[in-house]
Amino acid sequence: MKVLIVDDHRLFVDGMCLVLENLDASVQILDAKSYEDALPKISDNPDLDLVLLDLDLPGISDIEALTSIRHQLPSIPVVILSGNQDAGKVQEMLNAGAQGYIVKSTKANSMVQALKLVFSGEIYISPEIISQQINLQASKSEGCIDYVEMPFTSRQHDVLNEMVHGFSNKEIARKLDISESTVRVHVAAILKILNVANRTRAVNVAIQKGWVEMGENGKSI
């Protein structure tokens, strides 16, 4: 595996190297402190498997950096790593082709799982970003039980739907044709997004919000 990290914070880059080694012990890591510094490394390494891109790079806007890299590496996932948790910025990056948005405060093991999901073809958004957006929307509604836009990725919603019907992680994995470890990552993200401690509470909240329908015969889980 070959990964390019574009970030001007040396300590963070060093930390990411350790994370990536946990993902793949044979990983080859390239780094660049700016978009201009990244250009020759992109052109000289067409076999890159992943680009990790910081925001607020010097000399170029976030959207320009992302769209340019996506143009040069159309089949390679680009994941944003940033301390910026603004929902508008997150959506802008995803709309421009980012396959993930991970906050820099994410724990190492969670970051490894997030990158595994990206490599499996899924889009990953740090749960704290989505949870923050839910809280913001809820506060704007001033306590009313109004519909709040569904906060999950499509795959998380698929998993949540199976949770509603009471299926185990193993059963969900078989039904959705994904690994059981991937299901566990999605379940953990769902619990974190909804700020709940268990699957039962997650399902109840999701049903109350109208994000999923109750299972057959009124069964939740």
Q: What is the mean pLDDT of each run of 10 residues along the chain (221 residues)?
A: 94 93 92 95 94 92 94 94 87 90 90 87 79 57 48 88 86 91 90 84 81 56 43
**Boundary-marking domain end, from 68, 90, 125:** 125
Report the CATH number that the domain containing residue 96 is assigned in CATH. 3.40.50.2300
Could you tell me the two tokens for 212? 């999923």
pTM of the predicted model, to two decimals? 0.69
Residue 42's domain comprises 2-125
| Pair 76, 103: CB distance under 8 Å | no
Domain total of the chain: 2
| CATH code of 200's domain | 1.10.10.10
Query: Does 18 share its domain with 111?
Result: yes
Same domain, residue pair 98 and 199: no
Say whether both 99 and 21 belong to one domain.
yes
Instruction: Return the pLDDT at 145.
Output: 38
Long-range contacts from 10-15, C-beta under 8 angstroms, 24+ separation: 12/54, 12/81, 12/104, 15/108
Domain co-membership, 14 together with 118: yes
Pair (105, 69) in one structural domain: yes
Query: What's the farthest any 2 CA atoms get from each other in the chain?
Result: 60
Looking at 68, 93, 125, the residue that finishes a domain is: 125
Domain closes at, from 125, 155, 189: 125
pLDDT at residue 143 in the model: 44
Q: What is the pLDDT of residue 151?
A: 79
Q: Looking at residue 54, what is its pLDDT? A: 95
In a shared domain, residues 92 and 145: no
Give 204's contacts (C-beta < 8 A, 6+ positions apart): 220
